[in-house]
Structure formats: C-alpha cells, structure tokens
Structure 1
Amino acid sequence: MKILTVQSLSKYYRQYPSPRAKLKEALLGVKCHEEYWALRDVSFDLKKGESLGIIGDNGAGKSTLLKLVAGTLRPSTGKVVCSGRLTAILELGAGFHPDFSGRENTYFAASLMGISKKEMDEYFDEIVSFAELEDFIDRPVKTYSSGMFVRLAFSLVTSVKPDVLVVDEALSVGDQHFQKKCIDRLTGFRKLGCTILFCSHSMYHIRRLCNNAIWLHKGKPMALGATEAVVGAYENHMRSMENNSANSGHDNMNAEKKMPEIAGGENLAGLESLSLQGISNDDGHLLIEKDLTVYATAWTRDSSVEVNFGILIERGDGVWLNALGTHLDGVKPRRLDENRWGMTLCFKNVPILAGEYFVSVYLFDASGLLVYEEWLKHTKFTVISPKEKIGLVELPHEWL
C-alpha cells in the first residue's frame, strides 16, 4: 500500500535583476524575471516501511524536496499525497520563542504539529524525560544551552510515532549519549514499519538506513532505485568532478567519501590501541609478510555499552582500498573484560602493490550508526613490489 506519493513535484523562484524590474512587471505586466528551478519534475512512491535516501551536491534541491514533502513550502507544480501522520525533523526548534519556558514552547509547538492538548498531557512527561530536562522545563528556553535546546526539540518532534518520517541530517543532535538515544528512536520507528525519507551527505548512513535512494543534480532527478546502484552512480559522478577539479588546478572540496563524523560531548566509549603485525619495526614500516594483521582495543564507560570496530586502508593519496566493519560482516568484537573490547582482523596474502598506505580505525556503537571515536591515518606501512608488477593490486589471475 502506498503511503507517500510525490508526483511531478517542482519548485521555482522568480529572480529579478533589481527591485525596479519587479515593480515594472507588477505595474505593466511585462515579464522582467528569470525562473530559477530549485526542483523540477520529481516523482516517486513509498510504501509502508520503505526508506528513501536523498543524495546530491550542495544546492541540488534536497532540502527543497524535504520542505515540499513536509508542507512547509508550496510546490509550483505537482503534488504530494500522504496517507498518514507525517513528522519532519528539519530545523529543530525553529518555532520556539526564547522568552517562553520549555513547557510553554512544547505545548505551543505541539499544537502547530496538530497534536491536541489532551494528547500532549499524555506525552509531556515522556518528552521531558527523553530530553533529560526535568529540572529546566519551566525555565525560559533562552537560558538553555544549544544542546538542551535541540534535545527538547527532537524529543517533541519524535514523541508521537509517525507513519512518515522526514529527516534532514539529524544524526548529529547533542552529545554522544543523546545521539545514541536519537538513533535508537529512529531505528525503532523503522522497525515498527515507519516510512522514512532521509537526506544526508554521508553515503555510509544512506547505505545503512535506506533500501532505495534518489540522486538530485541541479534540481533534477538523475537516478532513482536501489541504494547501492544510485550511490554508486553518484560516487562515480563525484570522482569525475574531482578529476576535473584536479586537472584544472583547483583544490578538492569533496567531502562525500568521508565516514560519518565523530559524535561530540562526553564520551561513552573510546579507542585504546591500534597495532599491525606483518610490518617491520624500523622507520620504513615495510610489509614483510604475506599476511597483514590488525589489532585494536577500546574502552567503554559502562559495561552495558557495546561497540563495533571499523578498519579503513587507504593509499597515501587518499584512494580507499578497503573499508570493513564488524557490524557490516556480522562479527561481534571480543569482550576483554567488563569495560574493554578488542578485535583482530587478518588480511590473507595481501595483494596490494608498491606504495605508501595508512590504516584508520573507527569505534561505532552497537547499531553501527554512531561514531564514538576515530583515529584517521593512524598507522603507516609501505609496500615494495617487483618492478614488473604495475598497478594498485595484483588480482588472482591465470593465463589460458
């Protein structure tokens, strides 16, 4: 059953060269503007429980699409049909009045969301508890820290399970502790069959959360379908843009290939050590064995906190060779003691050829969505291969 239908959705703005031109058009009826299409002819259907990722460059129309779906913008053409409760996590706390208390802002914002006072009376204590603001809820929000402010806003927006959830880069709310609560709530909605429209610059999160994706470029849909196919097409486009930028002598400004950003605030867990076996102990750090083994350990503040490890091997120029994660491979790290975890990863018969390489390690939460800590390009090793071997890797092969 379709729960969300977006049909030929478009949004354009009139751009005038000057205020005088705008007045001339209004008085004389002479067209003096150019049309800027922020979004043009976007269509898709979502069924109950589906997740659609929205990707694209800055200015591609992603936020415009979300605002049109959420109803905070009116489309120029096309329509959006939603057959259920829609909740949008866009600009958290945008409607809060600084002079009102947290309690007053909560009830007022809830009324704008279509939640009755009777319903809010039922949800209120849970909202305050989730935001961890019991001692501050009757103070003016202008006295809140930025973290307290977004905690209350997020808790309110997600207090009622929606049928459709619209999310714009909302996985970086507050400190680590609260980010984990946010992620758990969003993934809980997903497990309960909530349909999710998720916009992010993190291809990692798009792959993890969405079963389909749409790529927007200059307001137009370039690809729509299975996540891996669409993300792959987008990444090919970004690599092409990088190459063109490098050939033109411009700096590479692309950040799309980065792993998710580390969470801030008080740490629930952290990395402790990273070491390699199979490389020399001298300054050259040469790979001297056929196998390369990676060891890493981590600590947790509480014994109930579970973790996952991620390992990235990249060449000195930033080309990724391989990115792996315990959560991606269905492997559980070893618990060394009550508050320590460890992992061992062995690359058999390493096929990489001559070059300088770096190993990075990431510490994730149990879901693999929240990054507790990252050590980027932490350990270097060098590979020297025979002259007749050319390229990045030596693939298994046989001449017939």
Structure 2
Amino acid sequence: MTAILLHNVAKSYRSYDHPWETLWEVFTKTRRHREWTALHPLSLEIAHGEVVGIVGTNGAGKSTLLKLIAGTLTPSAGDIRVNGHVAALLELGAGFHPDMTGRENVYLGASVMGLSSERVDRLYDGIVEFAGLGEFMDQPVKTYSSGMYMRLAFAVATAADPDVLILDEALSVGDGAFARKSFERIIGYKDAGKTILFCSHSLYQVEAICSRVLWLDHGRLVMDGEPARVVSAYAEFLGGGGEGCGTPDQPAPAAVAGSGVGRLTKVEVEADGVEGRKLTVRSGQTDLTVAVGFASDPALPPPSVGLTITGSNGWAVTSASTSNDGLTISRRPDGSGEVELSFPRFPLLKGAYWVNVFLLCEQGIHLYDRIEHAAELEVVQDGLEQGVVSLPRRWSVNGAPASAVSPTVPTVAAW
C-alpha cells in the first residue's frame, strides 16, 4: 500500500536584487527576477512501512523534499499525495512562542501539526512525562535552557503516533538519557511498521536503519536503492571532494586526499567472534572486539580513534583512545587505516550499554567523525554481584590467603 506518492514534483524560487522589483514586475509585466530550482521534477513512490534515508551534500534538495512531503512547502509543479497522519521534525520548536508557557506551547505546537485540542488533552500528560519538564510547564519557554526547549519540542512532535514520520537531521536529540529515549522512540516507530523518512549525514545510521536510500545532488535524484549500495556510492563521491554530481557507474576515489578531514568507514563489534549491532555479552566471560576503519587526509598527521561505552542513563562507563594510550596509528599511503580494540573477558556487570566510536585529530581534540550507538550490548551475568564492573580481587581470612579467589579480570587491551 502506498504511503507517499510524488508525480513530477518540482520546487523553484524567485530572487530579486531589490524589493521594489517585485511590484515593478507586476505592473510592467517585465521579468525582473532570477529563478533557481531547488528540486527538479521527481516522481517517487514510498510504501507503508518503508524506512527511507535521504543523503546528499548541503544544498542538494533534501530538506526541500521533506518539507514538500510534510506540506510546509507548496510545489511549483507536480502532485503530492500522502496517506495517513504526518509528523515532521523539520525545525524543532517551529510554532513555539517564547512568551507563552510550556503548557500553552504544547497546544500551539500541536495545532500547527493539525491536532485538535481534544486530542492534545489526551496526549498532554504523556508529552510532559516524556519531556521530563513537569515542574516547568507553567513557565514561559524563553526561560528554558536550549536542552529543555529541544526536549519539549521533540515530545510534542512525536507524541501523536503518526503514520508517517519525517526527520531532518533529528534521529535523536538532546544528550545523555534523553538522547537515548528519543532514539528509542523513533526506532519504536520503525518496529511498529510506520513509514519513516529522514535525511542525515551519519551514513552509518542511514545504512543501519533504512530499508531504502535516496541520493540527491543539486536537486536531482542520483540514485535510489538498497542502503549498502547507495551509501557506498555516496561515500565514494564524498571521498572525491564532492565536486559534480557523480554517478554509480563512475565512482569517485574513496580517499579524502586534500580535504583536511577524516571519516569513519567501518565499525564492527564482535562478541566471541559473532558480529552484530545488538549483542548478548556474558560478564567476565565474553571477549569483545571493536574493529574500526577510517579514511583521512594523508597530508595531515594520523588521526586518533576513541571509544566510549555508555550506560542506559547516557553516562560514560568507560572510554579508550589511541591518543590517550600513546599510540600513533600507521596508515596506508592514501590515508586509510584500521585499528582494533579488544576487551578480554568483558568486565562490566549486567545491564544495557551502547558502544560509540569517534575519529579525532592526532591530539584527540578536534572531532572529524563519530558513530553513536554503533552497537547495543546486553550484558548478562552469573551470580548476584552488584554495581557496574567486576574488579580483580583476592580475599584473605585471619591474615592467610583464602581459597576462594575471584576470577582474574585482565586489563583492557590498549589500541
């Protein structure tokens, strides 16, 4: 069943050198404007339940396409049909008024989305609970921190169980525990069979989450297909410097020579040799390995690679980095390389954890690229040991070593 149908949809804009030229053009019927096309004629069909990623450089037409589908822009040509209720996170907080309270802005923002007051009445408590702002809802939002503002805006935009969810660089928002909560809400919509469209510069997330990917360049559709194939072609295009449109038949080189940047090209997490994005780990027994591939400008010093493991509350439980451990990464002549980090007999105790990977400059300060939530670890354990980590230990009784000795937990391997 079709969720979204576009037939020869295009969007153009007019620009004038001076404001008075608009009126002059009307009276004299003499053209005074320049016209530029943000989206060339595009026909597209998206089925219910598809998760469609949209990739492209800045100015490629991604946001224009999403706004047209969301109904916040009117096409210059063509027809658009969307079946079902649409929720869009195009600009968090669009429709909020700074002088109005959080409570008032919930109703205002929801009305912008087309929800009735009666439906907002039913959703209100859930919105407040999700945002975690109960004690602040009767204060003007201009007194909110940026994080509080984002939490309320996200909660309002995603509260109504939409049939179609549109995301513009907003796969998860905020930080810490709320970022995880927002990410889980969006993944929950995917698992429920909702139609999701989102554009993102995180190619790892696009490939991991989507069932289909569109690549736009200068308002034209370059490629539409299976995520691994489209993402690979787009990554090669980016590696060539992003000049021109590029085609899958003529891929650009994968290096990033002369770009002054670096990017992650691979993150694979394995538990006892089994690779996946959701892994079960047995505390004190499983060997965990993280393999990272990258491309970098060979004219710059070799980058550093870092990793954090965060708990369900968003707090970092542990971290490791090549710069902190004094390791300089050897690279191939084209600037690419790979590193591997191992955690023998993974020492964290039961709980849910996330693996996050970062590519940084040689000093570990400037961030080139990152992949958050690269893998989810579900740690299980034997026994009733409490806390976060099992530390090596030895008991003695009356000054004499006891026979019961904890299994020795090896030190975490360095890069």
- Judge same fold: TM > 0.5, yes or no: yes
- 1:295 maps to amino acid: S
- What SS does the corresponding residue of 2:238 show, helix, strand or coil? helix
Could you tell me how far 1:158 is from its partner in structure 2? Answer: 0.7
Could you tell me how far 1:234 is from its partner in structure 2? Answer: 1.1
Q: Specify the alignment match of 2:259 in structure 1.
A: 252
1:1-400 to 2 correspondences below 5 Å: 1-19=1-19, 21-241=21-241, 252=259, 257=264, 267-273=314-320, 294-296=341-343, 304-308=351-355, 338-340=387-389
Could you tell me how far 1:16 is from its partner in structure 2? Answer: 2.5
Could you tell me how far 1:27 is from its partner in structure 2? Answer: 2.0
- 1:156 maps to amino acid: V
Could you tell me how far 1:271 is from its partner in structure 2? Answer: 2.4
- What SS does the corresponding residue of 1:106 show, helix, strand or coil? helix
Q: Distance in 1 between matches of 2:119 and 2:329?
A: 64
TM-score normalised per structure 2: 0.67
- 2:197 maps to amino acid: L
For the Cα contact (< 8 Å) 2:141–2:149, is it kept in 1? Answer: yes
- The 1:53/1:253 distance shift into structure 2, 3 A limit, reads farther
- The 1:13/1:257 distance shift into structure 2, 3 A limit, reads farther
TM-score normalised per structure 1: 0.69
- The 1:13/1:204 distance shift into structure 2, 3 A limit, reads same
Q: Distance in 2 between matches of 1:13 and 1:24?
A: 18
Could you tell me how far 1:186 is from its partner in structure 2? Answer: 0.4
Q: Distance in 2 between matches of 1:108 and 1:48?
A: 29
- The 1:64/1:115 distance shift into structure 2, 3 A limit, reads same
Q: Distance in 2 between matches of 1:137 and 1:73?
A: 31
- The 1:293/1:59 distance shift into structure 2, 3 A limit, reads closer
- The 1:16/1:223 distance shift into structure 2, 3 A limit, reads same
- The 1:55/1:108 distance shift into structure 2, 3 A limit, reads same
- 1:167 maps to amino acid: L
Provide the aligned C-alpha RMSD in A. Answer: 4.2
Identity of aligned residues (%): 37
* Count of residues paired in the alignment: 322
Q: Distance in 2 between matches of 1:283 and 1:116?
A: 59
Could you tell me how far 1:269 is from its partner in structure 2? Answer: 2.7
Q: Distance in 1 between matches of 2:103 and 2:327?
A: 61
Q: Distance in 2 between matches of 1:176 and 1:325?
A: 12
Could you tell me how far 1:22 is from its partner in structure 2? Answer: 3.6
- What SS does the corresponding residue of 1:306 show, helix, strand or coil? strand
- The 1:21/1:107 distance shift into structure 2, 3 A limit, reads closer
- What SS does the corresponding residue of 2:32 show, helix, strand or coil? coil
- The 1:284/1:110 distance shift into structure 2, 3 A limit, reads closer
CA offsets 1:365-384 (integer angstroms, 9 cap, x no match): xxxxxxxxxxxxx977xxxx
Q: Distance in 2 between matches of 1:108 and 1:324?
A: 35
For the Cα contact (< 8 Å) 2:87–2:164, is it kept in 1? Answer: yes
For the Cα contact (< 8 Å) 2:204–2:371, is it kept in 1? Answer: no
- What SS does the corresponding residue of 1:69 show, helix, strand or coil? helix
CA offsets 1:346-391 (integer angstroms, 9 cap, x no match): xxxxxxxxxxxxxxxxxxxxxxxxxxxxxxxx977xxxxxxxxxxx
- 1:123 maps to amino acid: L
Could you tell me how far 1:136 is from its partner in structure 2? Answer: 0.7
- What SS does the corresponding residue of 1:74 show, helix, strand or coil? coil
Q: Show structure 1 runs of 5+ residues with no match.
A: 276-280, 287-291, 316-322, 343-377, 381-400
- What SS does the corresponding residue of 1:241 show, helix, strand or coil? coil
For the Cα contact (< 8 Å) 1:274–1:295, is it kept in 2? Answer: no
For the Cα contact (< 8 Å) 1:13–1:37, is it kept in 2? Answer: yes
